[in-house]
Structure 1
């Protein structure tokens, strides 16, 4: 249990080993697995406890982080459907960032399953910045629509807002219905993998990524012609079915800066691989604790920085080509040369004055200026609920697995009967 307090948990094989070494007896893997579940519930509480604590947990969130946004959605019988959470520091910080987000979802490993939907931004130092999180029962039209409706309260529906995701149809529908002014781009990595698998041809991949990253249509068509040469069917699909404006930076109708994939959202999900089996309140509290530490580290780093721009921004200024200035909002080498002649004495500062404010150290500090107040684990653990305020979701993954096994058995039995019938018929005819 001490290992579980650290967040790693103890595996069934470790339990088997401990029992064997301490008591000199062997137990089955299944028994060790069940023992692990009991131990974890003793430390963290059960999945049912997590749902029942959602309403008081939301109250604690608003008391400690006053301008946070929480929303709990239940069905007619009071069963859990969706829970949305965005902490105050996330909401305030995103106002100072480039208006590009990545959206993704990952399945939870708890008793009742569910999906964690996340909205993540990327700061100018390529760090993951959370905007909002939401636990839903399924990935479907209704859940994605609810998610974006809640997000609309903290991120306005503006023309400079860009959303990057995979080609999930429910995401596409929700963006079309909720964020009518925003621009939707496709994750280039997901798209490339889909095209490779669909057409069984990976020879186009290097040309695809070069075309996707191109800043101008001329450079784009140079690489796209290579795609047409090595994989004509892939090129036709990218042009006619997907559309250049969905995956190419040169033709994208908004400004996605250098965010071409949804990798940052998947990086967020990978940060909480172990926590995905926690009760829902402990999952959100783990996210709170992790980013409270991250915010403090990045705020301290920006505060102690003596330069005008962030380190990675300085590197990009030196590497930029002339076509980058309109997209990345950074001065190109020609502009830098002109500034050095015009402002010889204050050349260093003038370069940053002609860059977007997004890349300045002051703006970076404002992004992480808000303090995330951590909610102690003991506080969540000690929430007592009189009556079950929120019931667990209706569908239990365990039951669904049993149904799948039963259907598979019936299918196999049917095939067996058909084969035996055919055999008897053949023998009879023979």
Structure 2
């Protein structure tokens, strides 16, 4: 079966009219949501209720709109902060089946009514567009979704199914008006088509399917796939960083020693820095059978850095101790750059923009004290959801909210008085 090409285009412009009425069926499934790694809170379990709508009938060559309406999110806004109007933005993943395979990313606008403390999360509808290039029936199944909250800090809550959801909609695709040579992406978004074998395959448009190398048997070293990541950083760092990232692993008993590599010259040094001043770390997201994050850290720069010259980040290393048995994925996450100049370090958090493919898939065996949703060692500046946790023990989250508010109020003064500012003079 050929991989399905999926293209996400926000808004509704250019959508072809459907040949039949829309089909919709509410789907409910057990879901686990991960709170912010920096909160130290455990995962939250709840039920997601999603309504998927799509044309009942279409033709090969049509590009149709798919809509995900979240009837009920898996958790509530805890009794910590009132969420303001238009601060919540969801992104979801729909699995394609039948005459197509792969995934479709759907995105909602940052649009919501005020959400008081201890009340249900209200999410806007998510939409995406799917180009149909093969006749047959295509099923659409809701799956994982991410809730981004922009204030008081920009954070992501990642929610994943803990059971296999039922299909939410079906499209009957006829061969009229088009070829049946398989479904391909108009713009080249990634599909999951592979089974996790090393390297994956390549879809039309030049992107590589998720998969990476699998751990198993007597194999010791596992080479990950190079994946593209775009980071959005806070001042005084660069506005954005775009890089290719690779996650490699070496089996060490029941655990894995990780090595994370980035492309050369990922950023320009904003100031002249002495040797030993700049140090990177990254939060590696764990998915599949396992969940949580693992922090990998690189050594400080060995040579002085010139202002305006490209900076090569060193390889970052850490240890992944599995918390579950099965196939687990490792995906590049939030990047943190720490600059130390003798006093308190200047921390530059860089969060991931958009969806990122897994770099590596491993066969794992549960280890005592392993990840299993606990998040491993959380990286500073990592992403996670502030508002959609619903956890009962909210002391740490309350403290986080207080600190967040203080940072917002004092942030301008802090950055004005840091050694970084003095470096730029």
Q: Bin the TM-score by the shorter chain.
A: under 0.3
Give the TM-score taking structure 2 as reference length. 0.25
Name the structure where strand makes up a greater proportion of residues.
2
Larger radius of gyration: 1
Higher RCO, Cα 8 Å, sep 6+: 1
Name the structure where helix makes up a greater proportion of residues.
1
